[in-house]
Structure 1
Amino acid sequence: MNQNGFRNLQLNWSGLRFWLTLLLIIWVLSSIGLGWLVQFSFIVLGFLLIAPIVAFAVFRWWLKRNLVVDRCPVCGYESAGINGTQLRCPSCSEPLKIENKKFHRLTPPGTVDVEAIDVTVKQLEDS
Protein backbone atom coordinates (compact mmCIF):
# COMPACT_ATOMS: atom_id res chain seq x y z
CA MET A 1 0.00 0.00 0.00
CA ASN A 2 0.95 3.57 -0.53
CA GLN A 3 1.89 5.15 2.79
CA ASN A 4 1.55 8.70 1.41
CA GLY A 5 -2.05 8.04 0.30
CA PHE A 6 -3.55 9.72 3.37
CA ARG A 7 -1.49 12.88 2.82
CA ASN A 8 -2.59 13.13 -0.83
CA LEU A 9 -6.26 12.96 0.13
CA GLN A 10 -7.55 16.53 -0.15
CA LEU A 11 -11.07 17.73 0.43
CA ASN A 12 -12.61 20.48 -1.64
CA TRP A 13 -14.29 22.74 0.95
CA SER A 14 -15.27 25.47 -1.57
CA GLY A 15 -18.13 23.36 -2.95
CA LEU A 16 -19.33 22.66 0.55
CA ARG A 17 -19.41 26.41 1.33
CA PHE A 18 -21.87 26.99 -1.54
CA TRP A 19 -24.22 24.25 -0.33
CA LEU A 20 -24.07 25.47 3.27
CA THR A 21 -24.89 29.04 2.13
CA LEU A 22 -27.80 27.78 0.02
CA LEU A 23 -29.08 25.69 2.93
CA LEU A 24 -28.87 28.73 5.23
CA ILE A 25 -30.84 30.90 2.78
CA ILE A 26 -33.54 28.24 2.40
CA TRP A 27 -33.73 27.84 6.17
CA VAL A 28 -34.15 31.62 6.69
CA LEU A 29 -36.81 31.87 3.99
CA SER A 30 -38.69 28.88 5.35
CA SER A 31 -38.69 30.36 8.84
CA ILE A 32 -40.25 33.56 7.46
CA GLY A 33 -42.63 31.66 5.21
CA LEU A 34 -42.30 30.98 1.49
CA GLY A 35 -45.91 31.72 0.57
CA TRP A 36 -45.20 35.36 -0.19
CA LEU A 37 -42.23 34.42 -2.37
CA VAL A 38 -44.26 31.99 -4.45
CA GLN A 39 -47.10 34.48 -4.86
CA PHE A 40 -44.69 37.24 -5.84
CA SER A 41 -43.00 35.03 -8.44
CA PHE A 42 -46.40 34.16 -9.98
CA ILE A 43 -47.36 37.84 -10.10
CA VAL A 44 -44.08 38.77 -11.81
CA LEU A 45 -44.42 35.89 -14.27
CA GLY A 46 -48.01 36.90 -15.07
CA PHE A 47 -46.97 40.51 -15.59
CA LEU A 48 -44.15 39.47 -17.91
CA LEU A 49 -46.60 37.43 -20.00
CA ILE A 50 -49.43 39.98 -20.14
CA ALA A 51 -47.45 43.25 -20.45
CA PRO A 52 -46.31 42.75 -24.09
CA ILE A 53 -49.86 41.87 -25.18
CA VAL A 54 -51.30 44.97 -23.52
CA ALA A 55 -48.49 47.17 -24.88
CA PHE A 56 -49.11 45.90 -28.42
CA ALA A 57 -52.85 46.58 -28.13
CA VAL A 58 -52.24 50.11 -26.80
CA PHE A 59 -49.72 50.82 -29.58
CA ARG A 60 -52.20 49.68 -32.27
CA TRP A 61 -54.93 51.88 -30.74
CA TRP A 62 -52.58 54.90 -30.64
CA LEU A 63 -51.40 54.28 -34.21
CA LYS A 64 -54.98 53.98 -35.48
CA ARG A 65 -55.81 57.36 -33.93
CA ASN A 66 -52.66 59.20 -35.08
CA LEU A 67 -51.67 57.73 -38.44
CA VAL A 68 -52.77 59.98 -41.30
CA VAL A 69 -52.81 58.94 -44.96
CA ASP A 70 -53.38 61.92 -47.28
CA ARG A 71 -52.25 63.42 -50.56
CA CYS A 72 -49.56 66.08 -50.87
CA PRO A 73 -51.24 69.45 -51.60
CA VAL A 74 -48.51 70.27 -54.14
CA CYS A 75 -48.01 67.13 -56.24
CA GLY A 76 -50.86 64.86 -55.11
CA TYR A 77 -48.58 61.99 -54.01
CA GLU A 78 -50.24 59.86 -51.32
CA SER A 79 -48.15 59.20 -48.22
CA ALA A 80 -48.57 58.54 -44.51
CA GLY A 81 -47.44 60.40 -41.41
CA ILE A 82 -48.15 60.88 -37.73
CA ASN A 83 -50.64 63.59 -36.75
CA GLY A 84 -48.96 66.74 -35.34
CA THR A 85 -45.58 66.17 -37.01
CA GLN A 86 -43.72 67.58 -39.98
CA LEU A 87 -42.37 65.67 -42.95
CA ARG A 88 -41.19 66.09 -46.51
CA CYS A 89 -43.16 64.75 -49.41
CA PRO A 90 -41.32 61.70 -50.79
CA SER A 91 -42.14 62.78 -54.35
CA CYS A 92 -41.57 66.55 -54.51
CA SER A 93 -39.66 67.21 -51.22
CA GLU A 94 -42.16 69.88 -50.17
CA PRO A 95 -42.14 70.42 -46.38
CA LEU A 96 -45.54 69.41 -45.00
CA LYS A 97 -47.19 69.70 -41.60
CA ILE A 98 -49.90 67.29 -40.51
CA GLU A 99 -52.71 68.97 -38.62
CA ASN A 100 -56.30 67.79 -38.10
CA LYS A 101 -55.66 64.65 -40.17
CA LYS A 102 -54.71 66.70 -43.27
CA PHE A 103 -51.42 67.60 -44.95
CA HIS A 104 -50.69 71.34 -45.15
CA ARG A 105 -47.82 73.11 -46.87
CA LEU A 106 -45.26 74.47 -44.45
CA THR A 107 -44.68 77.98 -45.81
CA PRO A 108 -42.89 81.02 -44.34
CA PRO A 109 -45.12 83.76 -42.91
CA GLY A 110 -46.48 86.15 -45.53
CA THR A 111 -46.56 83.55 -48.32
CA VAL A 112 -49.76 83.58 -50.32
CA ASP A 113 -50.78 80.38 -52.09
CA VAL A 114 -52.52 80.87 -55.38
CA GLU A 115 -53.94 78.43 -57.88
CA ALA A 116 -53.44 79.06 -61.57
CA ILE A 117 -56.49 78.71 -63.75
CA ASP A 118 -56.07 77.89 -67.39
CA VAL A 119 -57.99 80.40 -69.47
CA THR A 120 -58.37 79.45 -73.08
CA VAL A 121 -58.55 82.28 -75.51
CA LYS A 122 -61.11 82.23 -78.31
CA GLN A 123 -60.70 84.62 -81.10
CA LEU A 124 -63.85 86.03 -82.48
CA GLU A 125 -63.85 86.66 -86.17
CA ASP A 126 -65.01 90.01 -87.30
CA SER A 127 -67.97 89.55 -89.52
Structure 2
Amino acid sequence: MSNTRTVLHDPDGLIEAKLPPDRAPYEALVTAVLAWTDPDLDPHDYEQIALQLTGHARAVAANVRHHAAALPKNDGRGALAEIVLREADRRLSLPPTGTAHCAQNRARLVRALYTRLDRLTEPAPATT
Protein backbone atom coordinates (compact mmCIF):
# COMPACT_ATOMS: atom_id res chain seq x y z
CA MET A 1 0.00 0.00 0.00
CA SER A 2 1.38 3.38 -0.99
CA ASN A 3 1.46 6.37 1.33
CA THR A 4 1.25 8.82 -1.55
CA ARG A 5 -1.79 10.72 -2.60
CA THR A 6 -2.71 13.18 -5.31
CA VAL A 7 -4.12 16.56 -4.39
CA LEU A 8 -6.59 18.04 -6.82
CA HIS A 9 -6.31 21.79 -7.28
CA ASP A 10 -9.61 23.18 -8.59
CA PRO A 11 -9.97 26.66 -7.05
CA ASP A 12 -12.83 27.62 -9.38
CA GLY A 13 -14.87 24.50 -8.62
CA LEU A 14 -15.16 23.62 -12.30
CA ILE A 15 -14.95 19.88 -11.78
CA GLU A 16 -17.70 19.90 -9.15
CA ALA A 17 -19.88 22.13 -11.32
CA LYS A 18 -19.63 19.69 -14.24
CA LEU A 19 -20.22 16.58 -12.16
CA PRO A 20 -23.60 16.84 -10.47
CA PRO A 21 -23.62 15.07 -7.12
CA ASP A 22 -25.81 12.02 -6.57
CA ARG A 23 -28.70 13.81 -4.95
CA ALA A 24 -31.03 11.03 -3.75
CA PRO A 25 -28.86 9.51 -0.99
CA TYR A 26 -28.08 12.93 0.45
CA GLU A 27 -31.71 14.01 0.40
CA ALA A 28 -32.52 10.81 2.31
CA LEU A 29 -29.74 11.59 4.81
CA VAL A 30 -31.00 15.17 5.21
CA THR A 31 -34.55 13.91 5.82
CA ALA A 32 -33.34 11.39 8.40
CA VAL A 33 -31.12 13.87 10.24
CA LEU A 34 -33.85 16.52 10.36
CA ALA A 35 -36.31 13.96 11.73
CA TRP A 36 -34.16 13.33 14.82
CA THR A 37 -35.93 14.27 18.04
CA ASP A 38 -33.67 12.74 20.68
CA PRO A 39 -30.88 10.82 18.98
CA ASP A 40 -28.39 8.91 21.07
CA LEU A 41 -25.34 8.53 18.85
CA ASP A 42 -21.68 8.59 19.67
CA PRO A 43 -20.11 12.05 19.10
CA HIS A 44 -17.89 10.53 16.39
CA ASP A 45 -20.99 9.38 14.52
CA TYR A 46 -22.44 12.89 14.62
CA GLU A 47 -19.13 14.26 13.41
CA GLN A 48 -18.96 11.77 10.52
CA ILE A 49 -22.51 12.65 9.45
CA ALA A 50 -21.67 16.36 9.65
CA LEU A 51 -18.53 15.78 7.57
CA GLN A 52 -20.53 13.93 4.90
CA LEU A 53 -23.06 16.76 4.77
CA THR A 54 -20.27 19.35 4.72
CA GLY A 55 -18.62 17.79 1.70
CA HIS A 56 -21.92 17.51 -0.10
CA ALA A 57 -22.88 21.09 0.78
CA ARG A 58 -19.61 22.30 -0.76
CA ALA A 59 -20.36 20.38 -3.97
CA VAL A 60 -23.92 21.72 -4.20
CA ALA A 61 -22.70 25.25 -3.42
CA ALA A 62 -20.22 24.98 -6.31
CA ASN A 63 -23.09 23.93 -8.55
CA VAL A 64 -25.24 26.86 -7.34
CA ARG A 65 -22.31 29.25 -7.91
CA HIS A 66 -21.82 27.91 -11.45
CA HIS A 67 -25.51 28.32 -12.38
CA ALA A 68 -25.78 31.75 -10.75
CA ALA A 69 -22.76 33.00 -12.69
CA ALA A 70 -24.44 32.03 -15.96
CA LEU A 71 -27.52 34.18 -15.28
CA PRO A 72 -28.00 37.64 -16.76
CA LYS A 73 -27.09 40.42 -14.33
CA ASN A 74 -30.71 41.61 -14.11
CA ASP A 75 -32.03 38.17 -13.07
CA GLY A 76 -33.00 38.39 -9.40
CA ARG A 77 -32.39 34.69 -8.91
CA GLY A 78 -28.66 35.41 -9.02
CA ALA A 79 -28.90 37.93 -6.19
CA LEU A 80 -30.82 35.44 -4.05
CA ALA A 81 -28.25 32.77 -4.84
CA GLU A 82 -25.47 35.09 -3.66
CA ILE A 83 -27.22 35.53 -0.30
CA VAL A 84 -27.56 31.76 0.14
CA LEU A 85 -23.94 31.24 -0.95
CA ARG A 86 -22.61 33.84 1.50
CA GLU A 87 -24.50 32.12 4.32
CA ALA A 88 -23.22 28.72 3.13
CA ASP A 89 -19.64 30.01 3.09
CA ARG A 90 -20.08 31.39 6.61
CA ARG A 91 -21.50 28.13 7.97
CA LEU A 92 -18.99 25.93 6.17
CA SER A 93 -16.09 27.97 7.55
CA LEU A 94 -16.91 26.58 11.00
CA PRO A 95 -15.49 23.13 11.74
CA PRO A 96 -18.07 20.39 12.26
CA THR A 97 -18.58 19.26 15.83
CA GLY A 98 -19.73 15.94 17.23
CA THR A 99 -23.26 17.06 18.06
CA ALA A 100 -26.74 16.43 16.69
CA HIS A 101 -27.22 20.21 16.47
CA CYS A 102 -24.24 20.56 14.12
CA ALA A 103 -25.38 17.67 11.91
CA GLN A 104 -28.88 19.13 11.71
CA ASN A 105 -27.53 22.57 10.80
CA ARG A 106 -25.50 21.03 7.98
CA ALA A 107 -28.60 19.15 6.82
CA ARG A 108 -30.59 22.42 6.75
CA LEU A 109 -27.80 24.01 4.73
CA VAL A 110 -27.85 21.19 2.15
CA ARG A 111 -31.63 21.55 1.88
CA ALA A 112 -31.36 25.35 1.38
CA LEU A 113 -28.70 24.91 -1.28
CA TYR A 114 -30.80 22.37 -3.17
CA THR A 115 -33.80 24.70 -2.98
CA ARG A 116 -31.73 27.50 -4.49
CA LEU A 117 -30.25 25.18 -7.13
CA ASP A 118 -33.74 24.12 -8.16
CA ARG A 119 -34.75 27.77 -8.52
CA LEU A 120 -31.70 28.45 -10.69
CA THR A 121 -32.26 25.51 -12.99
CA GLU A 122 -35.96 26.09 -13.64
CA PRO A 123 -36.87 28.28 -16.63
CA ALA A 124 -36.74 32.02 -15.98
CA PRO A 125 -40.12 33.61 -15.31
CA ALA A 126 -41.65 35.33 -18.31
CA THR A 127 -41.64 39.12 -18.22
CA THR A 128 -44.51 41.16 -19.59
Q: What's the TM-score, normalizing by structure 2?
A: 0.23
Larger Rg: 1
TM-score by length of 1: 0.23
Higher relative contact order by CA 8 Å / sep ≥ 6: 1 or 2?
Answer: 2
Report which of the two has the higher share of strand.
1
